[in-house]
Structure formats: C-alpha cells, structure tokens
Amino acid sequence: MAKEQKIIRDLTTGSVPKTLLRFAMPLFFSGLLQMVYNMVDMVVVGRFVGTEGLSAVAIGGEVLQLITFVAMGFSNAGQILISRYVGEDERDRVGEMVGSLFTLLMGLAAVITVVFLFSYQGILRWLNTPADIWEYTRQYSITCVWGTVFIYGYNLVSAVLRGMGDSRHPFQFIAIASVINIVLDIVLVGPAGMGPLGAALATVIGQAFSFLFALRLLYRNREQIRFDFHPSHFRLYPEVTRPLITLGIPMVIQSAAVTFSMLFVNSYVNAYGTVAVAVTGVARKLESMIGVISQAISSAGGAMISQALGARKLGRVPKIVGTALWVVAIPASLFAVVTLFHPEWLFGLFSDDAAVLAMAVTYVPVALVQYLGATLRPASFALINGSGNSRLNLAVALLDGIAARIGLALLLGVELGLGILGFWYGNALAGLVPFLIGSTYLVSGRWKNRATAKTEDPAD
C-alpha cells in the first residue's frame, strides 16, 4: 500500500515535466517495441518474399487494426476511470473495474473472432486486395485473428496497471513479445520458408506469451487491485460498467471511425496496384514511429489529467497539456528532417524494389503533414480523454474519422483529380482536426467542470 501511495503522490503533485516523462517513457518503449515487432514482419517478409509478401502484410496489418479498435477504446476508457478512482481513493471500484473489463473484453474478443472468420473474404474484397497477393493476405489475416483474445487480454491488463500508475511492467511484457516475434519471424519466414503465414504465427505466439506474463503479474498483485480472480467476480458491475460504457463507446467509435476511414481511403489506394500498397504500408509503419511517442504522451497525460481532476488539482491540467506538446515536438522534428533528406534510406529498410523507392519520394511532403498532426494531437487527446468528456470524444470521432478523413480524401483524390496523392493528403490533413477541437476545449475552460469539486486546491 505504501508503494501505491507513492505512485499516486507522484502523479498528482510531482513536477509535471518529470512526472510526465517518467510515466510516459515506459509507455513509449512499450509502443516502440510493439511497433518494431510489427515492422519486423514487413522487413523480414519484404526481404525474403519480395514486394508481394510486403504488400500482403501491409493489408493484413490493416485488417488486424480493424479487429483491435474495440480493445483500444474500452481499455483506454478503463485506464482513465481507474486513474480517477485512484485519485479519489475509491479502491473497491478498481477491483470492480478489473472484473468488468475482463468480462466485457474477453466476451467481445470471442465474438469478433467468430464474426471475422465468417466475413474475411468480403473484407479483403472491400479493401481491393490485388489478386496476386490474395492468398498471402488471407493466410496472414486469418492467422492473426486467432490471436485476438491475446491482444484484448494484453490491452486490458496493461490498462489496469497503467491506471494504477505502473507503466513499467507493460513495457517488460511487450519486450518479451518483441523478442519472441523477432526470433520466430527470422526462423519461420527465412529457413522454414513459410512466408507471411510464418510472420503471422510469430506475431500470435509473441502476443500469447505477453498476455500470459501480464496476467500472472496481475494475479500476484490481486490484493492491491482489490480483485481476487474468483470466477463469480468476473461479471459486469453496474456501478463501474455504466461509466465504462459511457466513456468507452465514444472511444470505440473514435477508434472505429479512424480505422474504417483509413481502410476506406486505403481501398482506393490499393486499387493502384501492389507497389502503391507497399509504399503506403511502409509509410504507415514509419509514421507509427512518431505515433508511438504520441500515444505514450497521450496515455500518460490522460492518466495524469484524470488523477489531477479527481484530486482537484486543476492548475496542473494546462501544464500537462503544454508539456505534452513540446515533448512530442522535439523527436517529431528530428524525424521530419531524416525523412525529408533521406527518404530512400528509410523506405529502403523495407524494400530494395526500384519502383517502391521511386514512389516513396513522392510521399515525403505527405509524411511531413502526418508528423505535424502526430505532434499536435496527443495534448488534445490527453485533455479530452483525461477529463472523461464522452460527448466531445464522439464529436472528434465523427469529425476526424468520418467527415474530415473520408471527405478530404474524396475531395482531393476524386473531385480534384489528384489521384493517389489526394488520398494520401486527405488522410494526413484529417489528423489536424483533434488539435483544433482540443485547443478550443482547453481555452474554454469547460474541462474544469469534470473535476469532482468546482473549487481548485489553493495549494496547487
């Protein structure tokens, strides 16, 4: 309990920059490792199988995103609420949230797995999967779907730990998954000659080990989280399920809207052929490097803001938002310089195909817009999610994921005749919408109404 109290004290009263960085760094390295083992799939398959295998993994990765948005939405909501319960010293609510998260997400994982196995062909056709990579894509997608329960399980356990202020252990678990994935990727795709199927198997096995180790830690700390893992306690507790659903559904819609809109845009891109698919897939992986930093800062900032509001430390909120902006801006600027002056080297890490490298150069200006959006979004999402504003979350989801992303892509790509460049730019420009909404929300001061009391602690 003393250790838990120290964690709470650090998140609510410590120096904002130091606390944010200390909490975000394990999240960053967790995301970095997760990104690396996802990138390894593409690098190894691209080198051993060629552009066809690389493109298949790119589309298969899009399919995998399609089935994980539910886990991301409810896990993020659970993390925010657990942080709030910790800040309010509502310990029993934490245990009830653990039982509710397990029940909800494991049930959804089973349902989604079954639904996908009966509908994957329609999804691949909707994505305009080229005929020459259809079988590779099918093998990769189906195999990854069998690991849905592990993806959902890892996300919910990590949400519990991070909500309690522990971002170190989730990093360790993803490190285990990364090492296993990298080793198996090289063995199964290379000497075993299994191609994309081997890469998918490596991913699923790594995810399984990561979840099992995370579950073991949670069980060992069952007294601290106030959940004893008794079968009868795996149920939906009304007191915490209502706010979980209220906050989680807009987050799920947000993730779903962005995911579906990106798949919609990519379905147009995929129609340009295997080379276009490969370039877009590699670009997404490169952009995810900044996305890892953005997600870490957004998650850490959201947890800090949630606890600050729960503990009535309103003065810390603008400081957290401002710190989140400059923390992401520094690495994003460095990465933009590398992309601007050495694009062939970056894309060459995945493929040595001359056609892929030639098209990659045309993507550079789009990448810079993507980096700008990735820099500006985290602070806004930290404020919106941390304050638990479900309505604003839904507004961001609809505007960013549907109106802006699909609308701009169709406007630039179809109406203005810019083709693939228009679809790329439409997707990139939509990423600026959350910043515009979040900045307005910050300046309005309406987030203060989300605190448990309407008066600020004079000592803050």
Q: Which of 198, 150, 146 is nearest to 174 (CA)?
A: 150
Residue 1 has a pLDDT of 36
Residue type for position 107: G
Distance (Å, rounded) from C-alpha 417 to C-alpha 18? 48
Using alpha carbons, select from 155, 146, 151, 152 the residue that is nearest to residue 120.
146
The length of the chain in residues reads 460
Neighbours of 207 (CB within 10 A): 26
Question: Could you give the CA distance from residue 247 to residue 51 in angstroms, rounded to a whole number?
Answer: 41
Distance (Å, rounded) from C-alpha 81 to C-alpha 73?
13
- Is residue 302 within 8 A of residue 444, CB to CB? The reply is no
- Cα separations in angstroms, 91 against 11, 310, 340: 16, 13, 50
Is 260:403 a contact under the CB 8 Å cutoff?
Answer: no
Separation between Cα atoms, residue 11 and residue 25, nearest integer Å: 14
Measure the CA–CA gap between 265 and 68, rounded to whole angstroms: 19
| Residues in Cβ contact with 397 at an 8 Å cutoff, skipping those fewer than 6 apart | 250, 253, 254, 255, 256, 257, 258
Is the full-model pTM beyond 0.85? no
CB 206 within 8 A of CB 234: no
Instruction: For residue 118, give every residue at least 6 positions away whose Cβ sits within 8 Å of its Cβ, in sequence order, or none.
Output: none
Residue 387 burial (C-beta neighbours within 10 Å; 0-12, 13-18, 19+): buried
The half-sphere exposure of 428 on its side-chain side, counting CA atoms within 13 A, is 22
CA nearest to 149, candidates 198, 113, 199, 117: 113
pLDDT beneath 70: ranges in the chain: 1-14, 23-24, 26-27, 30-39, 401, 451-460
Alpha carbons 268 and 209: distance in angstroms, whole number? 36
Residue 198 to residue 183: CA distance in whole angstroms:
11
